Amino acid sequence: MKGQRDKVETHGRASVGAGFVPAHKTPWKSQGELRRFWALAKPYGGEGFVYETLHSRFGKKKLHEIARHQFLELMKHLDSQEIRCRCEEHHGHASCAQYRKIKWLKKEIGWNDRQLALYIRKYAHVDAMRFMTTPKARGIIAGMSKIMKDDGGSDACL
């Protein structure tokens, strides 16, 4: 019949189109996402923190039990977490006071997390704030202080 799509038989079920993949067969997370997820979780205690958060936020015990949108929400939660102070473990990274100062300046300027991440990536040449060294954090703080002083936060867009 004209206007109807060809039906393809797959595993006893009819599906539309030759490239159709059932929803239960599609992977809800890629290997790259999983690597990034565990890298984000490592500073917070790794598996213990992840499974505590998983249980408290979604009532699930295993990572594969949550839906993709919940997984992405969990990644966003880990990414936006305040860096916990482990002053004896800085090993060349920025101090807790520097992280707090950057967060405070971000709020004063009126930037969102994305704008701050872009600024840090552009000027500190690191992918995330937690990877900044002390001198790079000092430079970011100086630059953000100058932006706040000069513009008063009016030029918040990057």
| pLDDT, tens digit (0-9, with 9 covering 90-100), for 20-76 | 444 444 456 777 888 888 877 777 767 777 888 888 888 888 888 888 888 888 888
> 16 — phi, psi (to 5°)?
-90, 130
What does the pLDDT read at residue 119? 95
Is the pTM above the cut of 0.75? no
Between the alpha carbon of residue 108 and those of residues 29, 111, 135, the distances in Å are: 36, 8, 22
What does the pLDDT read at residue 10? 46
Q: The tokens of 64 are what? A: 């594969």
* CA 120 to mean position of chain CA atoms: 14
Cα separation, 142 vs 76, whole angstroms: 27
Report domain extents, the chain: 27-80, 90-151
Token pair 């002083």 is at which residue? 149
Which residue did the predictor score with more confidence, 156 or 38? Answer: 38
Token pair 């992840």 is at which residue? 50
